[in-house]
Amino acid sequence: MSDVVVIGGGVGGLMAAIRLQCTDHDVVVLERLPEFGGKLATYSRDGYHFEIGPSLLTWPKVIDDVFRLAGTSLEREVKLVRLAQPFRYFWPGSGTATFYDDPVATAQSLDGMSPGSGDEYLKFLRHSRKIWEVSERTFFAGPMTGVLSLLRRMRSPRDFMLIDAFRTLWKASRKHFSDPRLRQWLGRYATYSGSSPFESPATLSCIPALEADQGSWYVEGGLGALRDAIVAVAQRVGVQMLPNTEVTGVVTRRGRVTGVRTAQGAEFAAEIVLANVDAEHLYRDLLPQSRRLKKVRKAGRSTSGIVVLVGARGKTEGIAHHNVWFSKDYKREFDEMKRGSLPEEQTIYACVSAVTDSSQAPTNSENWFLLVNVPAGLEVDDEFTNRLLNDLARRGPDLRGRAEFVEMLSPKDFETRYRSSGGAIYGTSSNGMRAAFRRPVNVGPVKGLYLVGGSSHPGGGLPMVTTSARIVSELISTR
Ligand SMILES: Cc1cc2nc3c(=O)[nH]c(=O)nc-3n(C[C@H](O)[C@H](O)[C@H](O)COP(=O)(O)OP(=O)(O)OC[C@H]3O[C@@H](n4cnc5c(N)ncnc54)[C@H](O)[C@@H]3O)c2cc1C
């Protein structure tokens, strides 16, 4: 008998498994897919390699912390590349801005597009850093069971004011930037947690400081190399990893967990069950007797996305590793998503990792990963790829005549692959001033059940689910 069973081998589950195994637990991870890593997944075709999940790594320190506990380091396991010019942003008709791994160079680039905005940017970064400093030692420091758990970690009421939680990110963007294009730039950070800048709190303004000060990172060979390293470290420290093993129920007795049941009819007994699956899947399918489902639904899903992969011949002038072509009307785009429909004009994100790493595409070719945000649950047909490539050609590079193949992943595909409700890619959203307190907590409703990953505290994204793993491991170790 293991003392911990982890349901799902996503990054949050694997990171928690490593931490717990390193602190004298016996851990088994049950994953329904043949591969581990969950949304941190890749796809290859005809010499082109794509990330089909995360393409941007921020705050790698939290991953390094786990690796160090396991007697190694992130640097020893993968070749990390800190991108010198991580982002290029394009606005319809007018303007391009390059973001550098140097705030002063970024400010100069912004001044070139819009005189005076360089200073606004540097001033904004000072504000952003303050929010980050407070958030790191409060929100990210431990479990969240309500506003009191946050307040208890604050040093003074000033901290509460500093985190800028009482206005939306969009409202804050109007205060910080006079150029509407930079308001859109700041607003985009809400999408890092699958949320809307018009609904999420301005606390999310802390993300630009994280990127500017701690870097935007790539892993040589693609982010799949990071997944492989996490899996290798987990195996090395002795975590038992079982792929192709779908959990169909959490077994409980007298109000506490006794293990899990699998689709193959096996039972894995354990004192602790750690669910790394979507909280809606957990409470709807694996523990239907719990009354938490209603509460989870209230938290609201993050957006989903449509991913279009293009293997393109030739090279594109003027692009960076990460690129964003903004829509003309951001408010309209998010209003349409809120109504559950496909926005008429979308902001298009493109990662072309071949810009940094020539191993990711054949010679003189590029691997285009295009992502647009759409509401969770949206259904789209294959025609969407033409619409997106036409749209991109109007605003940016024309890939239509250069494509060797085009493939698409829709919200339905994400739902089927990862069992995430409606194909939500970041778990629960940050929409609403109380979103942080509505997100499912890390402690389940029966003794011995814990939650880790994007749909529980502190939310989605690689650094967040790794933080979730730390929080939950500490809860288990001190229970
Ligand atoms: C297209 C896309 C782009 C993204 N871009 C970024 C980015 O650039 N940067 C970033 O930091 N983050 C990004 N993210 C978000 C990030 O990938 C996720 O937040 C993170 O990987 C989720 O980890 P998790 O621990 O929640 O587990 P998940 O990845 O959700 O894994 C859960 C695992 O549980 C398994 N499972 C489900 N049900 C069962 C069951 N019943 N029994 C057994 N196993 C089960 C699933 O198969 C899956 O492997 C992106 C995600 C997507 C999809």
Phi, psi of 134, rounded to the nearest 5 degrees:
-70, -40
Q: Within 291-364, where are the H helices?
A: 293-299, 330-338
Position 300 confidence tier, pLDDT thresholds 50, 70, 90: confident
- pLDDT value of residue 257: 97
Mean local confidence (pLDDT), 326-334: 97
Distance in angstroms (rounded) separating the CA atoms of residues 296 and 442: 12
- pLDDT value of residue 433: 85
SS3 168: strand
Q: Report the percentage of the chain scoring pLDDT > 90.
A: 92
What's the first-to-final CA gap in the chain, in angstroms?
Answer: 20
| Contact indicator for 42, 231 with CB cutoff of 8 Å | no
C-alpha 155 – ligand 1 centre gap (Å): 34
41 lines ligand 1 (CB under 6 A): no
- pLDDT value of residue 66: 98
Provide the 8-state DSSP code for 71.
T
The protein residue whose alpha carbon is closest to atom 3 in ligand 1 is 53
Q: Report the percentage of the chain scoring pLDDT > 70.
A: 100
C-alpha 287 – ligand 1 centre gap (Å): 20
Pairing of strands 348-351, 267-269: unpaired
247 lines ligand 1 (CB under 6 A): yes
Pairing of strands 322-325, 87-90: parallel
Residue type at 225 in one-letter notation: A
Structure tokens at 421: 């409700």
Position 92 confidence tier, pLDDT thresholds 50, 70, 90: confident
C-alpha 424 – ligand 1 centre gap (Å): 10
The protein residue whose alpha carbon is closest to atom 24 in ligand 1 is 453
343 lines ligand 1 (CB under 6 A): no
Distance in angstroms (rounded) separating the CA atoms of residues 280 and 5: 19
Mean local confidence (pLDDT), 350-375: 98
- We find that the CATH architecture of domain 4-39+221-299+430-477 is 3-Layer(bba) Sandwich (3.50)
12 lines ligand 1 (CB under 6 A): yes
Distance in angstroms (rounded) separating the CA atoms of residues 428 and 266: 31
Do you find a cis peptide bond into 458, omega within 30 degrees of 0?
yes
The protein residue whose alpha carbon is closest to atom 6 in ligand 1 is 54
The answer to whether residue 239 scores a pLDDT higher than 80 is yes
Pocket test for ligand 1, best of 19, 59, 248, 277 (most atoms within 8 A of CB): 277
197 lines ligand 1 (CB under 6 A): no
Percent helix, strand, coil in the chain (nearest 5)?
Answer: 40, 20, 40
The answer to whether residue 94 scores a pLDDT higher than 80 is no
431-450 burial, b if ≥16 CB within 10 A, otherwise e? bbeebbbbbbbbbbebebbb
Mean local confidence (pLDDT), 257-285: 97
Q: Tens digit of pLDDT for each residue in 184-215?
A: 999 999 999 999 999 999 999 999 999 999 99
The answer to whether residue 7 scores a pLDDT higher than 90 is yes
The protein residue whose alpha carbon is closest to atom 41 in ligand 1 is 247
Pairing of strands 96-99, 87-90: antiparallel
Q: How do the domains of the chain map onto residue ranges?
A: 4-39+221-299+430-477
Question: Higher-confidence residue: 357 or 146?
Answer: 357
Q: Tens digit of pLDDT for each residue in 441-471?
A: 999 999 999 999 999 999 999 999 999 999 9
282 lines ligand 1 (CB under 6 A): no
462 lines ligand 1 (CB under 6 A): yes
C-alpha 312 – ligand 1 centre gap (Å): 27
The protein residue whose alpha carbon is closest to atom 18 in ligand 1 is 461
Mean pLDDT computed over every residue of the chain:
96
Position 1 confidence tier, pLDDT thresholds 50, 70, 90: low
7 lines ligand 1 (CB under 6 A): yes
Q: Tens digit of pLDDT for each residue in 35-46?
A: 999 999 999 999
Q: Tens digit of pLDDT for each residue in 72-83?
A: 999 999 999 999
458 lines ligand 1 (CB under 6 A): no
Q: Tens digit of pLDDT for each residue in 164-176?
A: 999 999 999 999 9
Structure tokens at 64: 């390094």
457 lines ligand 1 (CB under 6 A): no
Distance in angstroms (rounded) separating the CA atoms of residues 286 and 385: 36
Query: Maximum Cα–Cα distance for the chain, whole Å?
Result: 67
